[in-house]
Amino acid sequence: MTRAVYYSPPDISIKTVLAVLADFEPLEPTGISTGLVAWELSEPEHEIESVMHFARQRGMISRAGWDPENGERLWRLTPRGRARLRSARP
**pLDDT digit string (tens) for 44-86?**
999 999 999 999 999 999 999 999 998 999 999 999 999 999 9
Percent of the chain with pLDDT over 90: 74
The contacts of residue 84 (CB under 8 Å, 6+ apart) are: 14, 15, 18, 60
| Gyration radius from the chain CA atoms | 14
pLDDT score, position 5: 46
CATH classification code of 14-86: 1.10.10.10
| Res. 90: pLDDT tops 80 | no
pLDDT score, position 11: 77
Task: Give me the residues paired with residue 65 across strands.
Answer: 74
The contacts of residue 23 (CB under 8 Å, 6+ apart) are: 40
| Res. 34: pLDDT tops 90 | yes
The domain segmentation of the chain, as residue ranges, is 14-86
| Res. 38: pLDDT tops 70 | yes
Q: CA 52, 78, 64, 32 torsion: positive or negative?
A: negative
pLDDT tens figures, 57-67: 999 999 999 99
pLDDT score, position 10: 55
Cβ distance 70 to 33 under 8 Å?
A: yes
